[in-house]
Structure 1
Amino acid sequence: MLPVYAGLIATVSVMMGGAAATAQTTPVYMDSSQPVSRRVDDLISKMTLEEKVSQMQNHAAAIPRLHVPEYDWWSEGLHGIARSGYATVFPQAIGLAATWDTPLMHEVATTISTEARAKNAEALRHGNHSIYFGLDIWSPNINIFRDPRWGRGQETYGEDPFLTSRMGVAFVEGLQGNDPHYFKTIATPKHYVVHSGPESTRHVANIDVSPHDLEDTYLPAFRATIKEAHAGSVMCAYNAIDGEPACSNTFLLTDILRKTWGFKGYITSDCGAITDVAEGHKFAPDIEHASAVSVKAGTDTSCGDEYASLTKAVKDGLIPEAQIDQAVKRLFTARFELGLFDPASKVAYARIPFSEDDSVAHRELALHVAEKSMVLLKNDGILPLKKGVKTIAVIGPNAAALSSIEGNYNAIPSHPVLPLAGMEAKFGELAKILYAQGSPYVSELPVPVPRTILHPAKGSTAFGLKGEYFDNIEFAGKPVVTRVDQQVDFDWDVAAPVPGVQASAFSVRWTGTIMPPMLGKYEFSFRREAKDVRVFLDGKQVTEEQAQGKKHSRRAQQFVLDLSDGQPHNLRIDYTHHTPLFDAGISFDWKPPVKAERAEAVEAAKQADVVVAFVGLSPNLEGEEMPVHVDGFDGGDRTEIELPTVQQEMLKAVAATGKPVIVVLMNGSALAVKWAKENAAAVLEAWYPGEEGGAAIANTLAGDNNPAGRLPITFYTGTKELPPFDNYSMANRTYRYFSGTTLWGFGYGLSYSKFKWSDVKLSTEKLTAGEPLTLDAEVENTSAAKGDAVSEIYLKTPASATAPIHSLVGFVRTPLAAHASQHVHVVIDPRSLSTVTGDGKRSIEAGEYTLFVGGAQPGADDNGVTKQFTIVGSKDLPR
């Protein structure tokens, strides 16, 4: 089925001499030879008020009489096209930032937009106009990760305005493409602005941000994505700023974004944020008034149905129809500039084949990017692992958990490589791999049931359960696929679990035995909103039946199994899924016996030459407004940044065996791991590394990948070092203003190679204010191992009350062969040489300045070089 907007010819009736005659004509709005502005004006002139309003919600209704199809503005592409079936899953955004590689970031975003186009074209061929299949991508998240307790910090590019702006610009440009006439997709930098938790108060919180912090920290990345990358849309935030909700804030949306920066695109609200204008912030008496004031401020579409009230708001005189027209024009301009009303023959992007989605080449890129994101924090020489290692103990809750590689706002991986599988594939032929889950993330919450207590049949030494996959919901006939699944932990959102099975209607039966490490009664549950699950123990059903089609609640999914007799028990899990397509997937979880799991980890360590411990966090603990309230975690945020106690105790118990321990951290935010820094043989930060994450980690430990990632955030020594979470002042926050001692600083990262910088030259030692400064240098790999040098350039400005300690102003990632050198050339733009006063004025001031170039911050890299220069005169810069 071809979309009706691809080359539509409309039929109109005309009266000629009192008789009706029919003529064929092409409406102006469907004439691709006409300017977009004229086409948009023509279309809107034909629409009623009700039809206009119907376009101002994230799911825009079809207008059949005008042959305008329905369209959903809401699609997600943070690190892969999400929630719409299989797609390439790249490392979580914080991991992308850790690459410190803007060309690579551009390549990632280009791949994401290619897959978005492939999915969109395939969806339209099947008449699918639903959510998550459109071409407006609600990414990137360029909020500043000012506090490591924020659960959504994993979605950002870290704590630094400059790094965030460079990564943001590369990502936006990659999403939007380079066609002179059409957007490939439209990027949506979010959440504008001054938004980074707490999650629990985001719907009511007002942030009284200082003029200095607004200009110095919170606005720069948004400015860059608008002024440089020309982002086609922006999302406003939930919270209020200086007393006005972000989505109805005239100063931010109209004065800065549109008038000062010249933004021409459309603004969407965050989901439900218009409701917050009235109910959360009490800024308007009701939804009708909230909708009107938000449109007046510049928010063109609501994520949600709040803007349905605008028809009445116009009739009640709260807002003139002309302002509705203005918003709708922005929205349709975007759709026309995406080519959605033009024939595919004119829009090259519309002809991208579906085979580009989740392709082999894209999987290879995901592996490459994951390898680039690895940050080596400590190495006493144990890495790379030597070939003489005969037995490796792989332990920890992140060793075999799908969520540990996915992150949040994730695409659906078709062939995920978990850390345990990556270790077995890389080392399994040379060394014996012993696995023990070892610990839950926190003692109060469940984790996936490990393969070690499951077997596909009585007496079998294999791990896991036999899985039978049926192309119906009755378990009828012969299974399409029969295999052994090592654990039941799957994400099949809008995706078929195996080839030959429909995504809209399938069933899976898992059978085998279960035998825990310690006798007792255990609480089990199912995650991922699993529907229609029945569990049988020794042939007896142990879960309650649910009403047909009724969605299970989290409480209804919990059940207890009595495994006290020390015998293996027959286990059967029946799972069915049918329309709607969303929310498919299942995770069989349990609350494990902590002492017994720790004992298993210790026993594995005793038998091994080395221990690799996969510890950290989970997107089931940190994320967006989550129903998690346990020690250290609250509502998606963290109340403590230390590694959870139960994991810390496991590490100590394993280390007490005397075997060397390599700690692999998997998390979306900084962890205070002082014990690991002092006692582990090596520490590797792997983030949530995407579909090939397990392979990338194993390649790094083996030395096939030489790590060169750098931290995009500061790793503090503990929670006590942090200011109050809800305080948005940047005082004593991030490397730019923090005065204390850190575990590892922003920009830190080790390598298996050594690098040295020399022959540093500046374009001038006396710079006129307002001119750019050029830095040239030589970077040399002084070791016998090829690797990537990351040249970080920091500026120290003349001392003032508001000046940062120093700031990143440039960086380049350079691959170098053993003992090779490379010239580094960086242009530092005038804006990067400026400072901001207390009242928010940005200017370049006269005085003595210092530049440092090296592989880390000044003082953290003895192989770096410092240069001084003078700025003559001063120059005010525009906001």
Structure 2
Amino acid sequence: MAHHHIRLLSGIFAALTLLPLRAQQQPDPATLPYMNPALPIDQRVDDLIGRMTLEEKVSQMRDRAPTISRLNIPRYDWWNEGLHGVAFAGNATNFPQVIGMAATWDTDLVHTMGQTISTEARAKYNQAMRDNDHEMFFGLTFWAPNINIFRDPRWGRGQETYGEDPFLTGRMGVAFVSGMQGDDPKYLKLVSTPKHYAVHSGPELLRHRFNVDVSPHDLEDTYLPAFRATVTDAHAQSVMCAYNAIDGAPACANTMLLRDHLRDAWHFDGYVVSDCAAVADVNTGHHYAPDMAHAAAAALKAGTDLECGFGQGQAFPALVEAVKQNLITEEEINTALHRLFRARFRLGMFDPPSTYAYGRIPFTEDNSPEHRALSLKAARESMVLLKNENHTLPLKSGTRHIAVIGPTAELVQSLQGNYNGPPPNPVYPLEGIEKRFSSAQVAYAQGSTLAEGLAMPIAHTALHPSKGTGSGLTGEYFNSKDLSGTPILTRTDRRINFNWDKVIPIPGLERNNFSIRWTGTFTPPAPGDYKLGVRVNYCYACENAEGFKLYFDDRLILESSAKRTGERGSVIEAPITLTDTKPHPIRLEYLHGSGSAGIDLTWQAPAAALRDEAVQAARSSDVTIALMGLSPSLEGEEMPVKLEGFSGGDRTAINLPAVQEELLKAVAATGKPLIVVLQNGSALAVNWAQQNAQAILEAWYPGEEGGTAIAQTLAGDNNPAGRLPLTFYASLDQIPPFEEYSMKDRTYRYFHGKPLFNFGDGLSYTTFAYSAVKAPSAAVKAGDPVTIEGTVKNTGPVAGDEVVELYLTQPQSPETPIRLLAGFKRVHLNPGQSTNVALTIDPRQLSQVDSKGTRTILPGEYTISLGGSQPNGTSTTQTTKFTITGQAELPK
């Protein structure tokens, strides 16, 4: 018996002593098959998934995928943004907002822009991995482009799109996606995610519960073609499903979209990610599922592989419970997980960076001089000249006195657009004009706010430093979070309108824990009631830890030390009544701990006082340049904005806000020539300006070099050739209600009225003529492409680009559009130079969609128009006809 106990104890002791040895004998993850770059990717993915528990699998199906240390899987955040430059990840090249890129009608440029964005994203990611930094927005899976159709000018997010036309949007989307993802046969440079799939274009405040009853015709004819193109032509490796429901089924649980079209018809082989909280909306917003487990199961079964969710807006954690309830199987989870990890392996995340070219891209590529030059080229190409009475533009070289007025002349938000990274040195329109017309006297006045009730950064003319002369405030920058110590830099800041999202404001500071004190005087333009305020950067999907104090007349009037300093675009204000126009001491202390840094010192000044300043500037000048429009503080994604003409990010009116139009009328009354430059992301009904201003230039949100591009265009250094990618309606009376998704009476393809400006409109400083337009003389068999040829000649005095636009008029049926864009090409011609252009119309553009959603090429006579605009009876557009025989039905 004693021997038995001894043997038992000995066995237990031996087993215990072997435990560390057995732990040591566990295979090193680095030696396992999934870490072997020589093996096929699918084999590596299956090997990795086979080693994971159910709970681990589910954890990797959320945008913030955690570390699994035992398998050497690092934390990864799938959420990254890059619509027109890497966003929310520090300094990056800021290209024109997407609607401006669409106005270039230059797919080669958009492709190059996509390549550049992906290069900067790789540079940031590579550096982050070297620093062992797995921070949000420094990844390789990008939720761009936005290829929804800008069907209604009231939609605040239309600025993120390529406009109203499915063909133009599709070609731009293909160019962007292919540029982003690269051309390496083994590795992806990035993953590009076309969004929001599908039938998504407002209203913002209803998006979490809104259902769209879309007709089969409109679905196939308008809302799906661009998505199809990015999947079938550019091989996008991800697609984002939308918030809204379609025909009663939420987009992220919609089998018609995700299975029938995306995977079965288009053979999509990537992964689907939800918009943020869209899977939770399946339960909480649409009430399509009784609880989160059923919502998650419905989304997974339909084809959603990855959930973006936060707070209460998470559903995929319930997938574990869904398996236990037999709502789904673990095999279905494996299928989704395989798609996700296949993308990560193709991105090289489990291979040594030195072994592939994309892994070696250096951080010096970020906002390089070459990339900044590309941003300027894009901004120049995006300029659309809408009116130029009596050749007012370009400005004459002898112009000596220029008045620059308007609320966007010095507003960084109206350069950047939304979903942007902060450029290190943005060029404001006023600065661009001052530099380009350095021999002239330039008088500036802000003139008005953007919209009544909206706070604006205080005009630099009202601020003066504590010592010396000039405009602005004295800024002292401290390498501490409480203004302690000696400033590492003291300088004069012309305006307090800064975006430092994940940026070090000046050398010597860290990203976190710095502080700034601005001091000087505030001189009101007139006595009256003012509101002085402070706006801090909204921290996207995170929290700020910072505070500020504002002193006026040596009295504390505003203070904030809250961890979260407010909603997107919010401002904290204090009313001030002033009875004089004397200088008043002002001091702003900014204490930044962490989060998204950035601050505006704002005012709401009496409208008459601002307007009178602008009128005075106009009176003393030879010409007035009015910088007008909107900003992403007014139009954008689901914002807490409620002002006249604006609601929740969308617009309730499309005219220029009244306070701006009153300013235009006041300066025009001086009798001086008036040039209106618009900065906006959506169409503006500038009827008064069209009738009364001498020139109108549409500049969009033009990016970091926008001020340079505007000035060069006004001077004639840049001959504008941009074209409108959407219709500018004369009023909302011309179009159906916002909530109506039918395309009847919408966009140039179905609108029978007379707009203010047509889709495709744009003037030049030179003239062009078209001739020798040829179509096939023999009948074309249905299903074959058609090539149209023509000659375009620069018949004017200066070199310039021309956008050749090809429109097709098809045999008529009840659903046939009036006309449709079937081809385009941007060409450069010197004076007297001509070139031959050949544009091929592919079968899908020749086809049309019937009421049942069937796409067919019909027999009959087709009319084509070739010119620099839509056919309008002018000599610049040439037309011809061809015939198609037979009939051919095309796949979805």
The answer, yes or no, to whether TM exceeds 0.5 is: yes
Cα-to-partner distance string for 1:38-75 (whole Å, 9 max, x where unaligned):
00000000000000000011011110000000101100
Task: Report if the CA contact (8 A) 2:848-2:855 is conserved.
Answer: yes
Tell me how far apart the structure 1 counterparts of residues 388 and 629 of structure 2 sit (CA, whole Å).
18
Work out which of the residue numbers 618, 621, 642 in structure 1 matches 2:631: 618
Residue 474 of structure 1 aligns to a residue whose secondary structure is coil
Residue matched to 1:537:
552
Residue matched to 1:491:
499
Amino acid at match of 2:270: G
Amino acid at match of 1:573: L
Work out which of the residue numbers 197, 206, 213 in structure 1 matches 2:202: 197
Work out which of the residue numbers 704, 713, 718 in structure 1 matches 2:726: 713
Task: Report if the CA contact (8 A) 1:855-1:861 is conserved.
Answer: no
Residue 559 of structure 2 aligns to a residue whose secondary structure is coil
**TM-score, scaled to structure 2:** 0.95
Work out which of the residue numbers 851, 854, 864 in structure 2 matches 1:841: 854
Task: Report if the CA contact (8 A) 2:645-2:653 is conserved.
Answer: yes
Tell me how far apart the structure 1 counterparts of residues 745 and 407 of structure 2 sit (CA, whole Å).
33
Residue ranges of structure 2 left out of the alignment (5+ in a row): 1-16, 539-545
Q: In structure 2, do the counterparts of structure 1 residues 743 and 14 end up closer, same or farther at CA, with 3 Å as the change threshold?
A: farther
Q: In structure 2, do the counterparts of structure 1 residues 769 and 90 end up closer, same or farther at CA, with 3 Å as the change threshold?
A: same
Residue matched to 1:134:
139
Asked whether 1:469 is paired with 2:474, we answer no
Asked whether 1:53 is paired with 2:58, we answer yes
Tell me how far apart the structure 1 counterparts of residues 766 and 431 of structure 2 sit (CA, whole Å).
27
Amino acid at match of 2:408: N
Amino acid at match of 2:397: K
Cα-to-partner distance string for 1:49-107 (whole Å, 9 max, x where unaligned):
00000001101111000000010110000000000100000000000000000000000
Residue matched to 1:670:
683
1:564 CA drift (Å): 2.6
Q: In structure 2, do the counterparts of structure 1 residues 367 and 64 end up closer, same or farther at CA, with 3 Å as the change threshold?
A: same
1:447 CA drift (Å): 1.1
Residue matched to 1:501:
509
Residue matched to 2:836:
823
Amino acid at match of 1:842: R
Deviates more, 1:624-633 or 1:731-740: 624-633
Task: Report if the CA contact (8 A) 1:467-1:483 is conserved.
Answer: yes
Task: Report if the CA contact (8 A) 2:782-2:857 is conserved.
Answer: yes
Tell me how far apart the structure 1 counterparts of residues 655 and 833 of structure 2 sit (CA, whole Å).
40
Residue 484 of structure 1 aligns to a residue whose secondary structure is strand
Task: Report if the CA contact (8 A) 1:53-1:310 is conserved.
Answer: yes
Residue 354 of structure 2 aligns to a residue whose secondary structure is coil
Question: What pairs with 1:107-256 in structure 2 (closer than 5 Å)?
Answer: 107-256=112-261
Work out which of the residue numbers 568, 574, 577 in structure 1 matches 2:589: 574
Tell me how large the CA RMSD over aligned residues is. Answer: 1.8
Q: In structure 2, do the counterparts of structure 1 residues 512 and 625 end up closer, same or farther at CA, with 3 Å as the change threshold?
A: same
Q: In structure 2, do the counterparts of structure 1 residues 695 and 30 end up closer, same or farther at CA, with 3 Å as the change threshold?
A: same
Asked whether 1:651 is paired with 2:659, we answer no
Residue matched to 2:318:
309
Tell me how far apart the structure 2 counterparts of residues 109 and 860 of structure 1 sit (CA, whole Å).
37
Residue matched to 1:412:
422
Q: In structure 2, do the counterparts of structure 1 residues 858 and 28 end up closer, same or farther at CA, with 3 Å as the change threshold?
A: same
Asked whether 1:393 is paired with 2:398, we answer no
1:562 CA drift (Å): 4.2
1:306 CA drift (Å): 2.2
Q: In structure 2, do the counterparts of structure 1 residues 14 and 642 end up closer, same or farther at CA, with 3 Å as the change threshold?
A: farther
1:590 CA drift (Å): 1.1
Residue matched to 1:356:
365
Asked whether 1:383 is paired with 2:409, we answer no
Tell me how far apart the structure 2 counterparts of residues 155 and 711 of structure 1 sit (CA, whole Å).
15
Q: In structure 2, do the counterparts of structure 1 residues 22 and 829 end up closer, same or farther at CA, with 3 Å as the change threshold?
A: closer
Deviates more, 1:727-736 or 1:283-292: 283-292
**TM-score, scaled to structure 1:** 0.96
Tell me how far apart the structure 2 counterparts of residues 98 and 544 of structure 1 sit (CA, whole Å).
43
Task: Report if the CA contact (8 A) 1:769-1:845 is conserved.
Answer: yes
Tell me how far apart the structure 2 counterparts of residues 180 and 60 of structure 1 sit (CA, whole Å).
27
Task: Report if the CA contact (8 A) 2:528-2:606 is conserved.
Answer: no
1:286 CA drift (Å): 1.2
Asked whether 1:800 is paired with 2:805, we answer no
Cα-to-partner distance string for 1:654-690 (whole Å, 9 max, x where unaligned):
1011011000011000010111111101000000000
Amino acid at match of 2:501: D
Residue matched to 1:774:
787
Residue matched to 2:654:
641
1:345 CA drift (Å): 2.3
Tell me how far apart the structure 2 counterparts of residues 610 and 852 of structure 1 sit (CA, whole Å).
39
Work out which of the residue numbers 518, 525, 534 in structure 1 matches 2:533: 525
Tell me how far apart the structure 2 counterparts of residues 449 and 463 of structure 1 sit (CA, whole Å).
11
Cα-to-partner distance string for 1:752-805 (whole Å, 9 max, x where unaligned):
011111112224441110001111211110112000011000000011101000
Amino acid at match of 1:514: F
Tell me how far apart the structure 1 counterparts of residues 874 and 52 of structure 2 sit (CA, whole Å).
64
Amino acid at match of 2:168: L
Deviates more, 1:606-615 or 1:300-309: 300-309
Residue 684 of structure 1 aligns to a residue whose secondary structure is strand
Task: Report if the CA contact (8 A) 2:529-2:606 is conserved.
Answer: no
Task: Give the number of equivalent residue pairs.
Answer: 862
Task: Report if the CA contact (8 A) 1:507-1:577 is conserved.
Answer: yes
Question: What pairs with 1:309-388 in structure 2 (closer than 5 Å)?
Answer: 309-380=318-389, 381-388=391-398
Residue matched to 2:578:
563
Tell me how far apart the structure 2 counterparts of residues 364 and 529 of structure 1 sit (CA, whole Å).
27
Q: In structure 2, do the counterparts of structure 1 residues 565 and 679 end up closer, same or farther at CA, with 3 Å as the change threshold?
A: closer
Tell me how far apart the structure 2 counterparts of residues 21 and 173 of structure 1 sit (CA, whole Å).
45
Tell me how far apart the structure 2 counterparts of residues 544 and 650 of structure 1 sit (CA, whole Å).
33
1:424 CA drift (Å): 0.8
Q: In structure 2, do the counterparts of structure 1 residues 138 and 20 end up closer, same or farther at CA, with 3 Å as the change threshold?
A: closer
Asked whether 1:448 is paired with 2:460, we answer no
Task: Report if the CA contact (8 A) 1:442-1:647 is conserved.
Answer: yes
Q: In structure 2, do the counterparts of structure 1 residues 616 and 19 end up closer, same or farther at CA, with 3 Å as the change threshold?
A: closer
1:591 CA drift (Å): 1.0
Q: In structure 2, do the counterparts of structure 1 residues 771 and 20 end up closer, same or farther at CA, with 3 Å as the change threshold?
A: closer
1:480 CA drift (Å): 2.3
Cα-to-partner distance string for 1:530-570 (whole Å, 9 max, x where unaligned):
831111223332223636x5646788832233433432111
Residue 707 of structure 1 aligns to a residue whose secondary structure is coil
Tell me how far apart the structure 2 counterparts of residues 676 and 860 of structure 1 sit (CA, whole Å).
25
Deviates more, 1:437-446 or 1:855-864: 855-864
Amino acid at match of 1:753: T
Deviates more, 1:773-782 or 1:695-704: 773-782
Residue 672 of structure 2 aligns to a residue whose secondary structure is coil
1:315 CA drift (Å): 1.3
Amino acid at match of 2:515: S
Question: What pairs with 1:61-80 in structure 2 (closer than 5 Å)?
Answer: 61-80=66-85
Asked whether 1:259 is paired with 2:267, we answer no
Q: In structure 2, do the counterparts of structure 1 residues 527 and 23 end up closer, same or farther at CA, with 3 Å as the change threshold?
A: closer
Task: Report if the CA contact (8 A) 1:546-1:552 is conserved.
Answer: no
Task: Report if the CA contact (8 A) 2:196-2:241 is conserved.
Answer: yes
Residue 558 of structure 1 aligns to a residue whose secondary structure is strand
1:452 CA drift (Å): 1.1
